[in-house]
Structures are given as C-alpha cells and as structure tokens.
Amino acid sequence: MSKNIAKSNLPILTPEGSFEAYLSKIRKFPMLDAAEEYVLAKNWREKGDKDSAHKLVTSHLRLVAKVAMGYRGYGLPVNELVSEGNIGLMQAVKKFDPEKGFRLATYAMWWIKASIQEYILRSWSLVKIGTTAAQKKLFFNLRKIKSQIMKADQTDLLPQQITEIADRLDVKEEEVKSMEQRLSGHEKSLNAPILSDQDDGEWLDWVVDENADQELQIAQKQELDKKQTLLNKAMNILEDREKSILYERRLVDEPKTLEELSVKHKVSRERIRQIEERAFEKIQKEMLEMAKKQKLITAN
C-alpha cells in the first residue's frame, strides 16, 4: 500500500503572496486534541487513510510557520523556509507512531527543524560553512550565544567572548571568527513591523494563536518530563566528578568553560573534555536501556 501524502491540496505561500493571507488560511484548520490525533494517526498508520494524514498535516501548519519564522535571520525567503518545513512535517506524519506516548507536535518539531536547517545549509554553500556536526552546531547556535554574552551596546565580539563560544561549542576560535563574519551581514529582526492596511504589529505576532502555543507547550512538557525522569535516574551511575563535570558543561543555562573546570578539578582541559565525553556516553547508554525497558522506544 502506497503511503505518500499529497501536497497539492495544501495552502501554498508563493514568493508574491502575502504572509498574512497565508496565516489566515492555515488558522482555519482546526487544532486536534490528543484523542482525535491518536485516532487519525492510527487510521493513517494502519490503513493508509490519506484523509486522516491530511488532517494531521494541516492541523500543524501553524507550527511550521512558527519554526520557519525563527530562521528568517539567515536571509532566505520565508516562503521557501515554510515549504521546506512543510516537507519535514509530512515526513514526521508519515513516520509518527501514536503508540509511543508522545504528541505529534513534539515529534514533528525535530523533522521540521531538520528540513529547514538542511535547506539553509545548502543555500549558504556547505563548502564554505563546513559539514561537520560541530560546524553545523556553530552555524545554528552562534547568534543565540552572542545574545547571552554580549552587552546591549556591543557590536563586535571580544577575544575572550570568542574563546568562550569556541569552548562551549567545541570548535576552533578561527571557526567562530569566520562564521561570525559570514552571518554578520544577514542579521534581520523578527520584530520588524508588518506593512499592512488591516493590521499593525510585528511578524511574530502573526505566527500562531495562544491555543496553538498551549498545545505545543503541553506536548513538549510531556516529553520533557519523561526525559528528565530518565536523566535523573541515569545520573546515579556516574562518579561524583563525572556527574559534576557533565552537569556544569551540559545541564546548566550558562555552561562552564573547559578552562574553568580545569582549574576547579586540577586537571588539564583535555582531561575535562575526556571525562565529559565519557560521562555523556554512559548517560546515553543508560537512558537508552531504561527507555527500552519502559517501552518508550522500540528495541532493535
């Protein structure tokens, strides 16, 4: 049985089209409660019911628009970002298993982001940006970290800030400088005013209504609670030093640098990196085993 999801009857945002008009169209599709979503997902997964798949997709188009708007700072047309995000959404619906206990919004979020990010990387020339996981992480996290560590009136990164970013993202300082130069010409505000005869406001005001936000928050909280429980239990297998280093490097809002932990634990920066990686691998393995036992994921 073929299980392709048709795109032809979805609203399309064209280069000439109004983003406001597109948002008005997709807001007409109803949001689904958990029970409705489960039944539709079962019908699609077990019977190949395309009407059910269509309802699952259209009920999450607002989520795609919201995610896509978050990537407008990379200087690419929003209609293309939305189109790529919709492809990711359809892939998510195609693979979604309602028996796993998570909501579609939580599962689809990662597919949508991945699809948009791959498109951005292709558009920005992978030859210059790089293809390693660390370089991709730098590309998509540099602006966020800059906003955390730079002062309001600061325009350029200071040498110590470049060092901090390199430590946080595990890349070379030269890579941070190069990426900063490439991105600096493409910064755009998501709070730019909408030029409309009907409405005033900012772009982000248009993306989703409060109900959609609540829907996503609930779904995300369900997954976060389960992962947090697994993480808390898995942390018990670590030695005290491993636990301390992993926590301060990956589980706090403002991670410590390798240099800071090197001084604290009286070992080299490289040793701190090794302990962090080993602890992270142990945690991953333990959480995977617990998730399989609790049937949160399917054992291979």
**Mean pLDDT along residues 213-219:** 49
Residue 203 has pLDDT above 50, yes or no: no
**pTM (two decimals):** 0.51
Quick: pLDDT tens for 88-121: 999 999 999 888 878 899 889 989 988 888 888 7
Residue 52 has pLDDT above 70, yes or no: yes
Pull the structure tokens for residue 21: 């008009």
Q: What is the pLDDT of residue 4?
A: 64
Mean pLDDT taken over the chain: 78
Report CA 70 to chain centroid distance, whole Å.
10
Contacting residues for 214 by C-beta, under 8 A, at least 6 apart: none
**Mean pLDDT along residues 56-69:** 93
Residue 178 has pLDDT above 90, yes or no: no
Per mean pLDDT, which range of 148-152, 196-200, 225-229 is the poorest? 196-200
Q: What is the pLDDT of residue 3?
A: 59
Q: In which band, very low, low, confident or very high, does the pLDDT at 132 lie, cut at 50, 70 and 90?
A: low
Q: What is the pLDDT of residue 55?
A: 94
Q: What is the pLDDT of residue 217?
A: 53
Quick: pLDDT tens for 182-200: 666 444 333 444 444 444 4
C-alpha 58/C-alpha 76 separation (Å) is 24
Q: What is the pLDDT of residue 5?
A: 64
Q: In which band, very low, low, confident or very high, does the pLDDT at 212 lie, cut at 50, 70 and 90?
A: very low
Q: Give the residue among 172, 176, 130 at the shortest CA–CA distance from 156.
A: 176
Q: For residue 180, give the amino acid letter.
A: E
Q: What is 19-123's CATH topology? A: Four Helix Bundle (Hemerythrin (Met), subunit A) (1.20.120)
C-alpha 279/C-alpha 262 separation (Å) is 16
**Which residue has better confidence, 144 or 63?**
63
Q: Which of 78-82, 179-183, 205-209 has the highest mean pLDDT?
A: 78-82
Pick the CATH number of 210-293 from 1.10.10.10, 3.30.110.30, 3.30.70.920, 3.40.50.620: 1.10.10.10
DSSP calls for the chain = ---PPP-TTS----TTS-HHHHHHHHTTSPP--HHHHHHHHHHHHHH--HHHHHHHHHTTHHHHHHHHHTTGGGS--HHHHHHHHHHHHHHHHHH--GGGS--HHHHHHHHHHHHHHHHHHHHT-HHHH--SHHHHHHHHHHHHHHHHHS-TT--S--HHHHHHHHHHHT--HHHHHHHHHHHHTT---TTPBP--SS--SBGGGGS--HHHHHHHHHHHHHHHHHHHHHHHHHGGGS-HHHHHHHHHHHSSSSPPPHHHHHHHHTS-HHHHHHHHHHHHHHHHHHHHHHHHHTTSS---
Residue 232 has pLDDT above 70, yes or no: yes
CB 34 within 8 A of CB 103: yes
Q: Where are the domains of the chain?
A: 19-123, 129-184, 210-293
**Which residue has better confidence, 163 or 186?**
163
C-alpha 20/C-alpha 94 separation (Å) is 28
Contacting residues for 200 by C-beta, under 8 A, at least 6 apart: 193, 194
